[in-house]
Structure 1
């Protein structure tokens, strides 16, 4: 047995259990990481290393750029960690493009390229940093880690910097992820807070792209946003990625596309990165691939769409606090107001002191008090003489005159006294008093002053900081609907196997490894299974195909023999809401029942078949024509209608049928730019197979498309989208950039090519479409003036009176006068 060794000079009460020591040390370490490294402070939105960098840059600032290596060295006086952590933090700060004015290669967050070495790049505080960050006289200070220097506890920042920059950090048992927001929207939001209005901040990212913030939850825990790349369909063979999701790079995005291709999720020929000043990644499609479907597949299977879960955590009152972004903006706004009040109070005090001394100086010289001190023999007598000379005027000052004031008067040089100009001094005093009155007014109307401060900030620094990420509502894309057909479906009917590994058996068609397959057997059983290399589904397969869940347009036409009665029955049914791997009986279910005829009709077609009875049948007419259109579409459990009681020899197709389903009702959801059949958005009408969709675009082009639900449209580019009527007349007003005139035209859509854009306005530079409509009787209101400087007049113009010409026609000049504005008038409704 081992013996416990205890120092001879220790008692049992002097010992600390290891568990207690670990708990204490771990908590100390966790608190240090949370407070001093990972989580930003709510007051200025900075982590300690960032604050120390900005303080060091201010100390070094002389208006010129400093080597980043020197800044790192200066920061190490305050930051107790290595130079690598400081270098990483300063690069990260610089790439935010807010507080640091950079020179040299600082890397590129879009491509993931790293910055040049610290000895090659330079930096200095930006003008915005000087405006919002530094105010030494109202800054709280503390000693640096070695006690040699002073550093700010937090900066008195006058802007919601944390929300503008965003922040991310992982501590011990705690993490923060604050998304960046738009500079201009933050200032507008701060103004709204001061005006007592509600705010709804949404993130904005420097890489642009699209964002769905419907579940943002003010950036709190549990929220989530979806980010998408901006993808443009250049033509039927090429997609162009123009902007990428925040947190990705062009390299990582291309790698994700290549991985999706290698897994067979998408079919492409090549990916080319043309990124330079702007992002451009060209995705060339494989032959036969729909650009709309591949576009959706990129969102599903690659980093073209990512999700981010925010977690707004800040240090407040020396402990981590979870808070929403709107509440955080409100805190920062009122803190800015408080800091402005402190600065105004300090300015007010300084102005009072300047006025006080200027008044004392004026009295000291104009009342010739300086001459009275010539007879004084001691320093005390000098001060007493000046004090007595000022005695009659002391009531006009805001505070009592102290010895220091008298000493300052004695330091005025004779040269200044001899050149003293009373009028000039009086004017200077009036200026100071005016400034003092202005400061007092600002203090009395502090909210108005703060609002004006934010407006000035927006005016001076808001240019170029407009929103880059477009807010959209995304649709939910089903992976199985857009995955590429990366496999072949084979079948062994006799033995009852299906799968993509049966390469020696019968080929059914293309499929993907995400698909389900529906199988009908001769015994009347049906089941849906997941595609695999080889799956047993039962012998005597008569039909197998890729199954589309909840496809309400797909109808099965069936003739079967009831095994109990021998009666042949016909039915039409759908397979909706099935359970995978469960067998369903599409006959009555009697033993010996079997299927004689089955067709799979994706658009509800109903054919005519010829039923040939057995020659031994007692029936007079041994050849029967049967039209499936005479049957109603029912559920899969229906027994069907009696076709014949006699023995059937064979069944032949006589006439291919037409769809018996009604036309498809289609809506356009302008928020996501896609068609749907779910009653979302604008109702376009009922569509049959040959119907088309007409688009009129902001670019002055029109285009015809089919009504596939996978089509993508850019909502901000669409002026009009509706069901195409070949008889419709397009009325358009446009500005010709070459002639500098407005033209009006009316034309029919004469082309039939789908998915091709046709320009119906002048292609000269700066030409633009003003109005386009297919209204039968369009009217516009034209505001014009006869000459420059003349009063404007209004004229109602009926476009319906114009002749209809070809879409290539130039049109007629609208007016010889100076046109100020053109407005399409609402359609007048006729009443009985």
Structure 2
């Protein structure tokens, strides 16, 4: 019976000392993390386009972007060939480099818009594609593969943007229209091995971007998983909304700080998070917080304006904390009293009537001077009904009128004067 005795012994230790020695570690689920998405970008990538070298050690050459030492780099050359290779201090990838950048595997939202010439004197083709499923250090081609093919225009679009380009042709007898425009949004996105469509059979002098375009893919749907504290696109947790390029997420903490951030899936968030949502500056928030210095509860309303740098929306005392944070247009709260004021009936507060909208730095208004036991959020008030404005009809200049035999009231028939 040694096993049973040992179990009972540890149960007695827990019963006797457990309340005085609380768990300090936190139990939390772990998510699958891709190292290349969360590692710090502690290196700088450089390129020598003419000689065909890329790497982190080419400090005298052209700077491309920040990267980490475990990233993959995609390189596209003028002849249409491209490859993916690991970041190195210096690597030869082929002369006449057109584009180099960090490559994210399984990224289907980055779309490459391409115009290329097929062979030395062939047709000029146009295509849109995503580059996925690539093997490291293996060469691929964006063209048909005809010798002497050449990329004439290339844009890399993280959100599938489709721009408008202006194409100038070489002068040629009987060729009237030397300049025309092409909108990439009229072209379907296909696989990386697709040939593309014919843009023109005439020789091209130059191509320039006329107008930047919007995303043709729609937004990215983002969820927040409360268990692991991370963003995802796999529909786990709380749905935050559809995000387009430039949209932000805003975060509010129990300690009274707020800030905006991108919707990058590698983002980390504070442990005392109380609200996370898509950033809408026009939204008005209502906050109930405890002022540790005054030792009273305060209520405030403020616009949801925040920046990338964390800012405080309650008083500066670090011991103060947020009790409630509401975004309903007409919220209500209930204050229950305790201690010597326990005999008092609960206080119901219509927030919009209690205090107006102030700046985010405003202190707010004290809720009560009595001892508070609990503050809870109630069902918000419904928004006031919107009444349509009465329609007014212009009176005609001249009308004929007759008597209604049923009512004896004159009726205006509105006939035009036949004599006119």
Distance 1:755 1:510, change over 3 A: closer
Q: Secondary structure at the match of 2:128?
A: strand
Distance across 2 between alignment mates of 1:509 and 1:723: 28
CA distance in 2, matches of 1:595, 1:770: 59
Counterpart of 2:230?
Answer: 674
**Matches of 2:278 and 2:61, distance apart in 1:** 45
Matched, 1:801 2:385: no
Report how far residue 684 of structure 1 moved: 0.8
**Are the aligned partners of 1:693 and 1:724 in contact in 2 as well (CA < 8 Å)?**
yes
The residue number in structure 1 matching 2:216 is 660
Measured after TM superposition, the shift of residue 508 of structure 1 is 4.3
SS at the partner of 1:634?
coil
| Shift, 1:467, TM fit | 0.7
Q: What secondary structure, in the 3-state scheme, does the structure 2 residue paired with 1:629 have?
A: helix
- Aligned partner (choices 454, 466, 472) of residue 22 of structure 2: 466
**Equivalent in the alignment of 1:758:** 312
Which of 1 and 2 has greater Rg? 1
Counterparts of 2:318 and 2:65 in 1: how far apart (Å)? 50
Aligned pair partner of 2:139 in 553, 571, 583: 583
Cα distance change of structure 1 residues 507 and 808 upon mapping to structure 2, 3 Å threshold: closer
Superposition pairs for residues 120-131 of structure 1, below 5 Å? Answer: none
Q: Matches of 1:503 and 1:725 in 2, distance apart?
A: 41
> Is the Cα–Cα contact under 8 Å of residues 619 and 646 in structure 1 kept in the other structure?
no
Q: Following the alignment from structure 2 to structure 1, what is the Cα–Cα distance between the partners of residues 126 and 169?
A: 15
The 5 A counterparts of 1:289-368 are none
What is the Cα deviation at residue 792 of structure 1? 5.4
The answer for unaligned runs of 5 or more in structure 2 is 384-420
Residue 471 of structure 1, CA deviation: 1.2
* Counterparts of residues 229-628 of structure 1 (less than 5 Å): 454=12, 458=14, 460-481=16-37, 482-486=39-43, 488-491=45-48, 493=50, 496-500=52-56, 508-563=64-119, 566-616=122-172, 618-628=174-184
Aligned to 2:300: 745
Q: What is residue 720 of structure 1 aligned with on the other side?
A: 275
Greater relative contact order (Cα 8 A, min sep 6): structure 1 or 2? 2
Change (3 A) 1:693 1:523: closer
- State the distance in 1 between where 2:107 and 2:85 align: 16
Question: Larger % of helix: which?
Answer: 1
Per the normalisation by structure 1, the TM-score is 0.42
Within 2, Cα distance between the matches of 1:697 and 1:794? 27
Separation of aligned partners in 2, 1:603 and 1:790: 58
CA contact (8 A) 1:526 1:585 kept: yes
Q: For residues 60 and 14 of structure 2, what CA distance do their matches in structure 1 show? A: 71
Q: Is residue 363 of structure 2 the alignment partner of residue 810 of structure 1? A: yes
Q: CA deviation at 1:822?
A: 1.5
Structure 1 residue 721 displacement after superposition: 1.3
* RMSD across aligned positions (CA): 3.2
Q: Deviations over 1:72-122 (max 9, x none)?
A: xxxxxxxxxxxxxxxxxxxxxxxxxxxxxxxxxxxxxxxxxxxxxxxxxxx
Distance 1:817 1:516, change over 3 A: closer
- Equivalent residues of 1:491, 1:499 under 8 A apart: no
What is the TM-score with the length of structure 2 in the denominator? 0.78
Deviation sequence 1:664-713 (CA, Å, 0-9, x none):
32221222222233322111112234433222321133333333333221
Alpha-carbon distance, 1:817 to partner = 4.2
Match of 1:729 among 275, 284, 290: 284
CA contact (8 A) 2:49 2:98 kept: no
Change (3 A) 1:801 1:504: closer
Give the C-alpha shift of residue 645 in structure 1.
1.4
Q: 1:798 to 1:463 in 2, by over 3 A?
A: same
User: How far apart are the structure 2 equivalents of 1:541 and 1:764?
Assistant: 56
Between Structure 1 and Structure 2, how many residues are aligned? 381
Looking at structure 2, the residues matched to 593 and 770 of structure 1 have their Cα atoms a distance apart, in angstroms, of: 65
Aligned partners of 1:692 and 1:501: how far apart in 2?
Answer: 34
Structure 1: unaligned runs, 5 residues or longer: 1-41, 46-155, 162-186, 188-453
SS of aligned partner of 1:517: strand
Deviation at 1:158, TM superposition (A): 6.2
Q: Does the 8 Å CA contact 2:160/2:217 hold for their aligned counterparts? A: yes
Q: Deviations over 1:1-36 (max 9, x none)?
A: xxxxxxxxxxxxxxxxxxxxxxxxxxxxxxxxxxxx
Q: What residue in structure 1 maps to residue 207 of structure 2?
A: 651
Alignment-derived partner of residue 781 in structure 1: 334
1:821 aligned partner? 374
